[in-house]
């Protein structure tokens, strides 16, 4: 079945450093890869996404890359700030009758001031 | 104005009881979802509805019964609650069933079964 693996599970960085979170997916039919940020006590919120026909996308301090051949995609956060501290989820979406999103296990990011 | 709302925010109950969680979205979306997030933060889809019609049922026990009275509401009823049902349940919505759609999540309902 479909599977999304995410690493690392925990990431601690100093304010101003970069953070990278990596994911792999199993189903080659996956065509949409969103990234969600979940702050304490709240629901996940989309921060950036990438479609399968694009290799890279950037939005200010965050960027995502996709390698379809290797079934890898990554989130890069530059110039991290304490408010970036949260749990980040990668996901892969596939159309199987209905539209299904499979989430990675999450990465807890700590940005130390 | 809250886009996706859930009630209650917290639910504490005894094993064997029946409980419901309500969800409403005011975004005009066609598709709604229920997710379960366990203590390790793993987020797993349970159900998906499109225009009141069940689209996805991810082998969830029969004790869980979703109901969509209209496309703005998706409620979750749970019978005979078990300890393992303790989790945070998130409702979400998206514009339609298309695969490029952002999902908007509610604030979650923390269910604790004693």
Note whether B100 contacts A43, CB cutoff 8 Å. no
A-facing residues of B in 37-66 (CB < 8 A) are 40-45, 48, 50, 55-56
Pick from B45, B98, B108: which is nearest to A43 by CB? B108
* DSSP assigned state of A27: -
Most confident of A54-58, B51-55, B73-77: B73-77
Q: What is the pLDDT of residue A26?
A: 92
> What's the pLDDT band for B1 if we cut at 50, 70, 90?
low
- Backbone phi and psi for residue B83, each to the nearest 5 degrees, phi listed first: -55, -40
Instruction: Output the pLDDT for position A95.
Output: 74
What are φ and ψ of residue A66, in 5° steps?
-135, 130
- CA distance readout (Å), A46 to A91, B63, B88, B110, B114: 10, 31, 19, 21, 33
Structure confidence by residue, pLDDT tens digits, B10-39: 999 999 999 999 999 999 999 999 999 998
Q: What is the pLDDT of residues A69-78, one digit of tens each?
A: 999 999 999 9
């Amino acid at each position: 079945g479909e599977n999304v693996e995410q690493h690392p599970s925990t990431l601690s960085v100093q304010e101003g450093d970069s953070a990278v979170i990596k994911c792999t997916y199993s189903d080659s039919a996956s065509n949409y890869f969103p990234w969600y940020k979940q702050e304490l006590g709240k629901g996940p919120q989309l921060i950036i996404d990438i479609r399968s026909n694009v290799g890279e996308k950037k939005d200010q301090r965050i960027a995502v890359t996709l390698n379809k051949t290797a079934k890898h995609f990554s989130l890069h956060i530059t110039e991290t700030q304490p408010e970036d501290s949260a749990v980040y989820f990668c996901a892969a979406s596939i159309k199987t009758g209905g539209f299904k999103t499979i989430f990675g296990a999450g990465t807890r990011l700590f940005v130390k001031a | 104005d809250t886009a996706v709302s859930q009630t209650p925010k917290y639910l504490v109950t005894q094993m064997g009881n029946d409980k419901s969680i309500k969800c409403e979205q005011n975004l005009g979306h066609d598709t709604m979802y229920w997710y379960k997030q366990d203590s390790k933060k793993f987020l797993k889809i349970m159900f998906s509805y499109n225009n009141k019609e069940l689209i996805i049922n991810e082998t969830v026990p029969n004790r869980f019964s979703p109901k969509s009275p209209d496309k703005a509401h998706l409620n979750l009823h749970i019978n005979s609650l078990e300890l393992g049902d303790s989790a945070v349940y998130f409702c979400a919505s998206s514009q339609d069933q298309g695969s490029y759609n952002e999902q908007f999540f509610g604030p979650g309902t923390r269910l604790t079964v004693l």
